[in-house]
Amino acid sequence: MANLKKSKILVLPGDGIGPEIVDEAVKVLECLRENGLSIEVEHGLIGGAAYDKTNSPFPAKTIAQAEECGAILLGAVGGPQYDQVERHLRPEQGLLDIRAHLNLFANLRPALLYAELASASSLKPELVAELDLLIVRELTGGIYFGQPRAQEVEDNVRRAYNTMVYDENEIRRIAHVAFLAAQKRDRRLCSVDKANVLEVSLLWREVMEEVHQEYADVELSHMYVDNAAMQLVRAPKQFDVMVTSNLFGDILSDAAAMLTGSIGMLPSASLNQDNKGMYEPIHGSATDIAGKGIANPLATILSVAMLLRYSLNQQQAAQNIEQAVIATLQQGVRTQDIADANTKAVSTGEMGNAVIKNLQKILLV
């Protein structure tokens, strides 16, 4: 791609709480830059914010910026004011388009329970203590993108359909990502499908078994998606890495997020074959709390850590951010989503500042 600049980070705040939480994450990047990390930060438009200004949720300028940068940090897209907009112009389409355009097929969604937040989980502390699982979601195929798709009227009856389709190459490449991730962890991979009903899942299973031949040190198991949903809320610690298709991963990752206390805590990475990536909190635009300064910026700040680790190969800086977040939680600093009855919640900005203070302390030693 022309003019690729690896150290340039494109920031796409998007909609709803996106701009507020991204502001805090950018402060973290600035802090690292002031301390010698060689990065450049540039802003751009996506989603509803882009649609409002350009009539497109993924405008040409953003496409060019996205092609040239080394990594992207995204806030969130969407909002009820766009509910009546045609589907191909909706904010969510901007997100799907950028994923497809950059071929970001591998979506990593870690669900990690910070010990300090055990009481915020919807499950009993003993079920989630030390929970550390990784969902690897296929992100550019499956029913999200399958053709044909349409809503139409036939004989005065409205009907609509989508197509769940994967070819073996798409399955194979996500399988490799998942097996490699498992090799770096507890070496257990659970592939989630619906092979008792769907042809596409039968192929998914076959290819997972084939790729497994190359990773003898990883234990592979298969689970139907309905059972996986149940197991996630029954005994989530049985999982190390889960790999699944686009739609199943969308659903399971929301469930997994809640186990960790708040969906406001979870970062994600969406990577292409060369580890170019887009990084975003897994929560949405939360328009109901937008503009109030109460959103939790930690998922976005932790997304910056993933960005530094996977796309810029800055392991130490990534670790420093994660340590700063842990230190902040240990100090008892809580936004409202993770606060309990006895804790006074801080604002989005106060949480960001607390993390930066801890980061500065870490950088000094």
Using CB under 6 A, list all residues that contact ligand IPM. Answer: 78, 92, 95-96, 250, 282, 284
Q: Which does 95 bind (CB under 5 to 8 A by kind): ligand IPM, Mg ion, none?
A: ligand IPM
- 148 upstream amide cis, omega within 30 of 0: yes
CA 167/CA 185 separation, integer angstroms: 28
Query: Closest distance between Mg ion and the C-beta of residue 6, in Å?
Result: 29
Query: Closest distance between ligand IPM and the C-beta of residue 89, in Å?
Result: 14
Q: Which does 12 bind (CB under 5 to 8 A by kind): Mg ion, ligand IPM, none?
A: none
Query: Closest distance between Mg ion and the C-beta of residue 250, in Å?
Result: 4
- Residue number with CB closer to ligand IPM (39 or 108): 108
Beta strands in 85-217 (DSSP E): 106-112, 132-138, 150-154, 157-161, 188-193
Query: Closest distance between ligand IPM and the C-beta of residue 193, in Å?
Result: 18
- Residue number with CB closer to ligand IPM (165 or 362): 165
Catalytic residue among 97, 250, 310, 337: 250
- Check binding of 250 to Mg ion (CB under 5 A): yes
Active site residue 194: yes
Q: What are phi and psi of 342, to 5 degrees?
A: -90, -5
Name the one range near Mg ion by CB under 5 A: 28-36, 125-133, 161-169, 242-250.
242-250
Give SS3 for 64: helix
- Residue number with CB closer to ligand IPM (19 or 346): 19
Q: What are phi and psi of 165, to 5 degrees?
A: -140, 135
- Residue number with CB closer to ligand IPM (144 or 215): 144
Query: Closest distance between ligand IPM and the C-beta of residue 109, in Å?
Result: 8
Active site residue 8: no
The CB-nearest residue to Mg ion is: 250
| Number of residues binding to Mg ion, judged by CB under 5 A | 1
Q: Which does 92 bind (CB under 5 to 8 A by kind): ligand IPM, Mg ion, none?
A: ligand IPM
- Check binding of 280 to Mg ion (CB under 5 A): no
With CA atoms as reference, report the closest residue to 90 among 40, 119, 48, 123. Answer: 48
* Contacts with 289 (C-beta within 8 Å, 6 or more apart), sequence order: 17, 295
- Residue number with CB closer to ligand IPM (299 or 308): 299
The CB-nearest residue to ligand IPM is: 92
- Check binding of 138 to Mg ion (CB under 5 A): no
Catalytic residue among 167, 226, 288, 340: 226
Can you say whether the dihedral through the CA atoms of 141, 303, 318, 239 is positive or negative? negative
**DSSP β-ladder status, 106-112 and 150-154:** unpaired
Q: At what angle do helices 225-234 and 246-259 cross, to 10 degrees?
A: 10
Q: Which does 23 bind (CB under 5 to 8 A by kind): ligand IPM, Mg ion, none?
A: none
Give SS3 for 2: coil
Judge whether 280 and 303 are in contact, CB under 8 Å.
yes
Catalytic residue among 144, 166, 215, 279: 144
| DSSP state for residue 89 in the 8-state scheme | G
Radius of gyration (C-alpha) of the chain in whole angstroms: 20
Active site residue 224: no
Half-sphere exposure of 245 (CA within 13 A, CB side): 30
* Contacts with 83 (C-beta within 8 Å, 6 or more apart), sequence order: none
- If residue 73 lies in a helix (H) or strand (E), which one and from where to where? strand 69-76
Name the one range near Mg ion by CB under 5 A: 12-20, 98-106, 234-242, 246-254.
246-254
Active site residue 279: no
Q: Which amino acid is at 334?
A: R
With CA atoms as reference, report the closest residue to 228 among 216, 215, 214, 242. Answer: 242
Judge whether 193 and 204 are in contact, CB under 8 Å.
yes
Query: Closest distance between ligand IPM and the C-beta of residue 244, in Å?
Result: 13
Query: Closest distance between ligand IPM and the C-beta of residue 33, in Å?
Result: 28
- Residue number with CB closer to Mg ion (35 or 122): 122
Active site residue 226: yes
Residues forming the active site: 144, 194, 226, 250, 254
Contacts with Mg ion, residue ranges (CB under 5 A): 250
